[in-house]
Amino acid sequence: MKRYRWNLRKSDEEAVEALSREINVSVPLARALCNRGIRTFAEAKAFFRPDLSTMPSPFLFRDMEKAVGRLRKALGEGEKILVYGDYDVDGTTGTALLCLFLREQGADVSYYINDRFTEGYGLSEEGVAHAGETGTGLVIAVDCGIRAVREIGLLAEAGIDVIVCDHHEPDELPPACAILNPKVPGDGYPFRELCGCGVALKFVQAFSESSGKSFGEWSGYLDLVALATAADMVPLEQENRVYVHEGLRIMRNGARAGIEEMLSIAGLRPSSLGVSQIAFGIAPRINAAGRMQTARTAVEWLLAGSRDDARAHAAELDRLNAERKELDAGIFRSADAMVESYFASYCSSLVLFSEEWHLGVLGIVASRLQEKYYLPTVVMGSSDGLVKGSVRSVSGLNVFDVLQECGRFLEEFGGHEAAAGVALKPENIPGFRREFDRICSERLSIDDRRKELPIDSRLSLREVTGKFLNVLGQFGPFGLGNSEPLFLSGGLRLSGLPRLLKGKHVKFAVRDEAGGIYDVIAFNREDIYREIERGSTRPLSMVYTLEENEWNGRKSTQLKLKDMAFEDD
């Protein structure tokens, strides 16, 4: 029944006790705060009360003065500006953000986004040609560009300057007139984990501040940054957490027509909007544009000048997402059927390929396979004589570093520690598969191959009061780098019989040693249903998160199960 590896995080108990007294919270909550690096009243205040005024100055970017000066020159001389974005959520929101801001400055601005299937990721020859043909004087690349050495060189030869707003790992730096990327060695910006749209926001902030504009000139775009940050799986800590906190507030207040219409179509309530609703409700619809057709649909949705246009674009994104879901479900079934042969050879990774697979959904399929088997996963299809695909890693394995070591088999690659894209020649698939698996085998221990549940604290359910839940609610927004606190309780017993919902979710109740009854919901854990359906009286331990439900005016505590085990097993 126990699916995961439980890891009760170790804490400095003296620091936990001191923080508990200082901010007047229970020890389990203080322990969860210490696990997030929070040990003082000031740090707790900053965590619970995110404040935009405490964010680092955008001028800490090494090239920010150059970037602001070049943009000011372009505006002053009426140059044509081309925003060049990627086709995912980060790229499309960053493109929309810059276009909206530059329009407000009176700029002659347009945008360009690659066709995923014919041009691939990053600046392309077609995009370079488009810039020249349209008389562009300045290109601003967002969520791409840091590895486009050749393409930016061609633009420079044509007399076209480029400002790069990117967050991907650099190699050789391109000959851009300004590079804004916190991952460039020696850049000086103190927070490395901004998404591309977040870097674009810092550019807008710097230009606004240097122009003497008000705080509202740039902070009103934080809804777009929140969308990108939540969707791009960058750590939701420090600066990112503040931006998402503020961006969610903007979205809940209904400031942007396109987002309001999307929430309506997706059946999401603005008042309860959180990171998971963005990641699983809004982001797939935005990404569906680039995966199935053209990412321009997503940009036009955010640029829509009327409510009717916003509604029409949102409906089109919803339609494309429905097509995408049907397509990736079929590919997942096909890929999953291949996996058995890999397990027969005790592999340390999954590298799967089929000429029939649609390139637009391979990242989704790779993520689902990684979640199911918890192995580094590569899923690839064919495109114009090359094999292209998506890579997903597991905790503790930097897949970008692994791909660098596999470089002799690859035509190109790029990405992050947790996710990447690759392109290679068909004849190099066997060599790449062997090399990728060899490196993963060396770097992953037996424990690394079983997903870990990092538990914040043991908890007696009697400690779960209204105040406890109120403080716990302020830990959000939750996401990568700031997950919901996980608690462990033992000595529990089943109360009544479980129910199986929609064939995959399990609803049941447990009783603690004091006789209290607590509802439990286990999403996608049909595997435990047969084990508990007979109503065993054996004591059990559970790892879970907590939430407060309200139904017909009655509030109750519900445990969202992550894993469980009978204590006498």
Write the DSSP assignment of 280-327 as a string of letters.
IIIHHHHHHHHHHS-THHHHHHHH-SSHHHHHHHHHHHHHHHHHHHHH
Q: Reply yes or no on whether the pLDDT at 189 is more than 90.
A: yes
pLDDT band with cut points at 50, 70 and 90 for residue 535: low
The CATH class that applies to domain 345-449 reads: alpha beta
* Distance separating alpha carbons of residues 458 and 28, to the nearest angstrom: 7
Residue 188 pLDDT exceeds 80: yes
Q: How far apart are CA 233 and CA 239, in angstroms?
A: 14
Mean pLDDT (the chain) is 93
Largest CA distance in the chain: 79
Question: What crossing angle do the helices spanning 238-252 and 222-231 adopt, rounded to 10°?
Answer: 120
CA R_g for the chain? 25
548 or 501, which is more confident? 501
Residue 531 pLDDT class (50, 70, 90 cuts): confident
Work out the burial of residue 104: count CB atoms within 10 Å of its CB; fewer than 13 is exposed, 13-18 middle, 19 or more buried: exposed
Position 14 scores a pLDDT of 95
Average pLDDT over residues 89-108: 97
The pLDDT tens digits for 30-52 are: 999 999 999 999 999 999 999 99
| pLDDT for 345 beyond 80 | no
Q: Tell me, what's the pLDDT at 505?
A: 94
Q: Where in the chain is the domain with CATH 3.90.1640.30?
A: 55-319
Q: Which of the following CATH numbers is that of domain 55-319: 3.40.50.300, 3.30.2320.80, 3.90.1640.30, 3.30.70.3450?
A: 3.90.1640.30
- Stretch 246-275: mean pLDDT: 91
Q: Residue 568 — very low, low, confident or very high, per pLDDT cuts 50/70/90?
A: confident
The better pLDDT of the pair 539, 345 is held by: 539
Tokens of 109: 């601005």
Write down the H helix ranges in 406-490.
429-443, 466-473
Residue 444: name the closest of 346, 338, 341 by CA: 346
> Would you state the pLDDT for residue 171?
85
pLDDT in tens, 470-500: 999 999 999 888 999 999 999 999 998 899 9
Average pLDDT in the 370-398 region? 93
Strand-pair partners of 180: 165
Which pLDDT tens digit goes with each residue over 282-315?
Answer: 999 999 999 999 999 999 999 998 999 999 999 9
346 has pLDDT over 90: no
In this prediction the pTM is 0.88
| CB hemisphere CA count around 73 (13 angstroms) | 11
pLDDT tens for 223-254 read 999 999 999 878 899 999 999 999 999 999 88
Q: Residue 404, class by beta-carbon neighbours within 10 Å (0-12 exposed, 13-18 middle, 19+ buried)?
A: middle
pLDDT at residue 550 above 80?
A: no
CATH 2.40.50.460 segments of the chain:
5-47+452-566
How many whole angstroms separate alpha carbon 176 and alpha carbon 13?
50
pLDDT at 76 over 80: yes
Residue pLDDT, tens place only, 213-226 = 888 789 999 999 99
Per-residue b or e along 427-452, where b marks 16 or more CB atoms closer than 10 Å to that residue's CB: ebbeebbebbbebbeeebeeebbeee
CATH level 3 topology of 5-47+452-566: OB fold (Dihydrolipoamide Acetyltransferase, E2P) (2.40.50)
Position with higher pLDDT, 567 vs 404: 404
pLDDT tens readout for residues 385-440:
999 999 999 988 999 999 999 999 999 998 778 889 999 999 999 999 999 999 99
Whose CA is closest to 243, among 293, 199, 179, 178?
A: 199
Q: What is the pLDDT of residue 569?
A: 67
